[in-house]
Structure 1
Amino acid sequence: MAARVPELLGERAFRRYWTGQTVSLFGDQVTFLAVPLAAVLVLHVDAAEMGWLSMAGLLPALLFSLTAGAWVDRRGRRRQVMIAADLGRAALMASLPLAYALGHLSLPQMYAVVFLVGTLSVVFDVCNAALFVSLVEPEEYVQGSTLVNGSRAFSFVAGPSVGGLLVQVLAAPLALFVDALSYVCSAGLLARIAPVEPPPAAPRKGHFSAGLRFIARSRAMRALVAGAATVNFFNFVFHALMVLYAVDQLGLSAGTLGVVLGAGAVGGLLGAFVTGRVVRRIGIGPTVLLGFVGFPAPLVLVPLAGGPRLLVLAALFGAEFLSGVGLMLLDIGSGSFQAALVPDALRSRVSGAFRMVNYGVRPLGALAGGLLGSTLGLRPTLWVATVGGVLGALWLLPSPIPRMRALPEKAEDPEADAGLPTAAAA
C-alpha cells in the first residue's frame, strides 16, 4: 500500500497544501449548490435575478485577474496573501447563514458576498500558481497537478451530493457554514508550511502588462491561451442550453439529469488517474493536444442523442463521462506545461492574464448560447457549440506543443534582460 501512495504525499509541506486544497474544493461544491438554492427557496428570486447572481460570481475573474497578478508578483509573500484570502472568504460566506438566522438575509447581500468571494478567489488563484512550484520539483509537476485536479474531480462527485443532503437537513443558507469552515481549514494548513517563494518582482515600467507580453511573445503560450479561450467560449454556449435541451426535448427528469451530469465527475476521476501514464506513454505535448480534442469532442453525442430512451441515456452518459476524462488530460497537461515554462518572477502575472482571457469568455459564451438558441433552435446551437469547441485544438497545431515529448525548459525572464523578449522560442 505504501508503494502505491504518490511520492509527493510523503512530503509534509505538499501534503498539507494538498489537503487544504481538497477540503476547500469540496466546500466550494457545497456552495455551488447551496447559494442558488438559498436564493430560490428563501428569497424566491426570478430568472433575471438568478442570472445576475451568476454573473456576480463570474465578473471578478474578468475585472481583476490582470491587476491581481501584477500586485501579487510585486508584493511577494504569496502564502500570506492566500491565508488572508481564505479567512476573508470564510468571513463573507459565514455572513449569509448568520443573516439568515437573524432574519435579515437579502438579495443585495448575496450579490455582494458572491462578488467579493469571487474577487478573493481571483487573488488566491493567481498566488497558487507560484506557491505550487515552490512546493513541487519540475520532474513532479505532472504528479502534483494530477493530485490537485484529482481532488477537484472528486469534489465534483461528492460535493453536490453532500451539499444536497446538508441543504435538506439544515436549510440552504446554513449549509454555507461548511464552505466557511473549509476556508478556515485551508488557511490553517497553509499557515503550517513555509516554502521558499520566488522573490517579489522589481518595480519597472510595464510591470502591469508583463504577463500579457510574455504570452504574446511565446508561441506555446499564445496557442494555449487561444485554444483554451475557444474551448471555454463554446463550452459555455453548450452548457447554457444543455439542461433545457435535456429536459424539454429529451424528456429527462431532474433526478436522471443529475445522475447524467455526475458521470462527467466520474470520468474526471478516471482522467486524473490515467493522465500521468498517458504523459509517460505519448509525451506532454500530445497529451495536451489530446485533451483539447478529448474534452469537447464527446459532447457531440448530446445533439446526436435520439431514438429509444435507453439509447438516449447511453449517449448522454458517454458524452459526460468521456468529456470528463478529456478535461483532466487538458487541465493536468496544460497546467504542468505552464508550471515548467513560465519564469518564477512572472507566474502570478501570467496566471492573471490567462485567467482574464479564459474566464472572460465564459459569460460571453453563455450569452451567445442564449441568443443562438432562441434564433437557431436548441439542437442546431448544440451542434455549433460542440463542433466549435473541437476547433480550439487547431490553435495548437502550428505551435511547438504537439511535438514536445518532455516538459519545456523554464523560459528566461524578459524583465531580467532589460525587457528583451527571450521566450519567443518556447
Structure 2
Amino acid sequence: MPGEANRGGVLAQRDFRLLLVGETASGLGNGITTVALPLVAVLVLGATALEVGLLAAAVWLPWLVVGLPAGAWVDRLPRRRIMIVCNLVSATMYASVPVAGWLDALRLTHLFAVAVVCGTSAVFFNTACHAYVPVVLARRHLADGNAKLQVSEAGTRVLGRSAAGFTAQVLGATVGLLLDALTFLVSTVCLLGIRTREERPARRAEASSLVREVTVGLRFLSRDPYLRPLVIYGATLNLLLMGYQAVLVVFLVRTVGVGAGAVGLLVMCASLGGVLGALLATRLCRRWGDARALVLTQAVACPFALLLPLTGPGPRLLSFAVGAFVLGVGVAVGNVVVGTFRQTYCPPALLGRVSSASMATNQGTIAIGSALGGVLGSAIGLRPTLWVLTAPLALTWLLVAFSPVGRTRELPRTAVPAAEAGSPR
C-alpha cells in the first residue's frame, strides 16, 4: 500500500525520494530543451519565426493525436514500465541531435522528428506519472508530494534554462540536448529502484474497446462541474502562454538583441517564480482553502503578462523578468492545486483516463498556440504578437472566478453524482 511508512512525511519515504530525484533529473532536461531546441533552430540552422513556432507546436502536437488513448493504455498497463520506456526513447532521440551536428548532417526536419517523437513519449510519461504518484503516496500526502514535485520541476527549469543558454554560448547549441539525454537515463535508474508494488490493473468482466474507455473518461470530465471549468481555464491559459513563448527566443535574440546566455537567464525568471509558487501553494491552501487560493493567485498573476511586450534593451529587461516571475508563481500554484484535486477527486480506476483527457485538452492547445504564435510572428511582427496574446491572457482568471470553483472555499474530495453518472458500473 502507498505511504505505509509515512510518519516522517513524504521525504522520509524512500520510494518517493527516488521518484522525486528522477523527476528532478528529467525536469532539468526539460528546462534545457525549452531553450536549447529553439536555439539550435535559430543559431545553427537559421530558422525563421514561423519555423520556430511550428517546431514548438510539434513538441505538443502528440497531445492532440494520442493524448486521449494514452490514458486508456495507462489504465491498462503498469505505469512505471511505461515511464521507463518513454525515458529511454527520449534519451535516444535527444542524443541524436548533437551526433547529427558533429557529422554535419543536422537538418530542420531532424529537429521536427525529435520534437514529435519526444512529444509523444512525454504524453505517455506525464499521464503515467500523474497516475503513479498515488501508488507511491497515501492520499493524505498527495498535496505535499505534488508541491515538492512542482518545486523540483520549477527549480530544475531554472538550472536547465540557464545551463542551456550558457552551454550554447560556450560549447555550442547542440551540446545542451546531449545533457538532456543524460537526465533521462538518470530518471530511468531512479524508477528502476522504486520498490512499491503496483497493483495489476483490474481485468474487465467484458472486453472493453479503447474507444469506449476513452469515452468514459471524456464523459466524466465533461459532466463534472469542477473539472470542466478547470480544464477550460487551463486550455485557454496554455494556448496564450505558449503562443507568445513559441516566438520568445526569436524576440529576445532578434528584436531585443540579447545573447544566448542572457536568453537563458531571462527565460529562467518564470521558473524562479515557479519555485516560489510551489513552495507557497500548500501554505496558501491551508490558510485560504484550495479553491480560493487558486482564484486569488490567478487573479494577481495573469495581468502581469502585460509587462512582457514592454521588454527592451537595458533597464527594460526588468519588465520581462518581473512579468515572467509573477506568471511563474501563478502557474505553479495552479498546477499544485489542480493536480492534487484531480488525484483525490477522481475514482482510481478512471484516474489515467480522466488525467489524459484533461492533459490532452490542456496540452493540445499548446500545439495550437505555438503554431499561432509562429504564424502571427511572421505576419504582424514579434512585439505585436506578444501584445495580441498577452492582452487576453491578463483576463483568463475570470474563467475560474465565475465558475463553481470561484464560489467555494474548498474543492470537494469526492466526485459529485452528475460526474459519477459517466463512470462505469
Q: Does 1:396 align with 2:393?
A: no
- Deviation track 1:337-373 (CA, whole Å, cap 9, x = no partner) reads 1111111111121121112211222233344446666
Q: Does 1:385 align with 2:386?
A: no
1:91-170 to 2 correspondences below 5 Å: 91-170=92-171
Q: Does 1:181 align with 2:187?
A: no
1:233-272 to 2 correspondences below 5 Å: 233-240=239-246, 251=256, 253-254=258-259, 258-272=264-278
**1:400 is aligned with what amino acid?**
P
1:70-109 to 2 correspondences below 5 Å: 70-73=72-75, 75-109=76-110
Q: CA deviation at 1:190?
A: 0.8
Contact 2:53/2:371 (<8 A) preserved:
no
Q: Structure 1: which 5+ runs fail to align?
A: 1-5
1:330-341 to 2 correspondences below 5 Å: 330-341=334-345
Contact 1:76/1:198 (<8 A) preserved:
no
Question: Closer, same or farther in 2 for the Cα pair 1:19/1:219, shift >3 Å?
Answer: same
Q: CA deviation at 1:56?
A: 2.3
**2:37 is aligned with what amino acid?**
V
What is the CA RMSD across the aligned residues, in angstroms? 3.2
Match for 1:410 among 402, 414, 419? 414
Question: Closer, same or farther in 2 for the Cα pair 1:33/1:241, shift >3 Å?
Answer: closer
Q: Which residue of 2 aligns with 1:16?
A: 18
Q: Distance in 1 between matches of 2:286 and 2:236?
A: 27
Q: Distance in 1 between matches of 2:95 and 2:382?
A: 39
Query: Which segment drifts farther, 225-234 or 200-209?
Result: 200-209
Q: Distance in 2 between matches of 1:192 and 1:236?
A: 35
- SS of the equivalent of 2:146 reads helix
Contact 1:231/1:388 (<8 A) preserved:
no
Q: CA deviation at 1:218?
A: 0.6
**2:38 is aligned with what amino acid?**
P
Q: Distance in 1 between matches of 2:319 and 2:347?
A: 43
**1:30 is aligned with what amino acid?**
I
Contact 1:290/1:326 (<8 A) preserved:
no
TM-score, L = length of structure 2: 0.85
Q: Distance in 2 between matches of 1:373 and 1:100?
A: 27
**1:265 is aligned with what amino acid?**
S
Q: CA deviation at 1:258?
A: 4.9
Q: Which residue of 2 aligns with 1:37?
A: 39
Q: CA deviation at 1:91?
A: 2.1
Question: Closer, same or farther in 2 for the Cα pair 1:406/1:197, shift >3 Å?
Answer: farther
Question: Closer, same or farther in 2 for the Cα pair 1:178/1:335, shift >3 Å?
Answer: same
Q: Distance in 2 between matches of 1:390 and 1:39?
A: 30
Q: Does 1:327 align with 2:326?
A: no
Q: Does 1:276 align with 2:275?
A: no
Contact 1:267/1:320 (<8 A) preserved:
yes
- SS of the equivalent of 1:411 reads coil
Q: Which residue of 2 aligns with 1:25?
A: 27
Match for 2:302 among 291, 296, 300? 296
Query: Which segment drifts farther, 137-146 or 237-246?
Result: 237-246
**1:190 is aligned with what amino acid?**
L
Identity %, equivalent residues: 35
Question: Closer, same or farther in 2 for the Cα pair 1:172/1:386, shift >3 Å?
Answer: closer
Q: Which residue of 1 aligns with 2:422?
A: 421
**1:283 is aligned with what amino acid?**
G
**1:318 is aligned with what amino acid?**
V
- Deviation track 1:180-227 (CA, whole Å, cap 9, x = no partner) reads 221111111111113344542534362122221111111001010111
Q: Which residue of 1 aligns with 2:355?
A: 351
Q: Distance in 1 between matches of 2:116 and 2:274?
A: 28
Number of residues of Structure 1 aligned to a counterpart in Structure 2 = 411
Q: CA deviation at 1:245?
A: 6.5
**1:327 is aligned with what amino acid?**
V
- SS of the equivalent of 1:15 reads helix
- Deviation track 1:56-103 (CA, whole Å, cap 9, x = no partner) reads 212112111111111221x22111111111112222222333334444
Q: CA deviation at 1:48?
A: 4.8
Q: Which residue of 2 aligns with 1:365?
A: 369
Query: Which segment drifts farther, 41-50 or 211-220?
Result: 41-50
Contact 1:346/1:413 (<8 A) preserved:
no
Contact 2:90/2:118 (<8 A) preserved:
yes
Q: Distance in 1 between matches of 2:229 and 2:396?
A: 9
- SS of the equivalent of 1:194 reads coil
Question: Closer, same or farther in 2 for the Cα pair 1:304/1:359, shift >3 Å?
Answer: same
Q: Structure 2: which 5+ runs fail to align?
A: 1-7
Q: Does 1:204 align with 2:208?
A: yes
- SS of the equivalent of 2:208 reads coil
- Deviation track 1:381-425 (CA, whole Å, cap 9, x = no partner) reads 64553342244333334543234444532338999x8xx3379xx
Q: CA deviation at 1:269?
A: 1.6
Q: Distance in 2 between matches of 1:393 and 1:44?
A: 37
Query: Which segment drifts farther, 136-145 or 217-226?
Result: 136-145
Q: Distance in 2 between matches of 1:380 and 1:41?
A: 23
- SS of the equivalent of 2:213 reads coil
Q: Distance in 1 between matches of 2:143 and 2:352?
A: 19
Q: Does 1:57 align with 2:59?
A: yes
Q: Which residue of 2 aligns with 1:316?
A: 320
Q: Which residue of 2 aligns with 1:3?
A: none
Q: CA deviation at 1:45?
A: 4.2
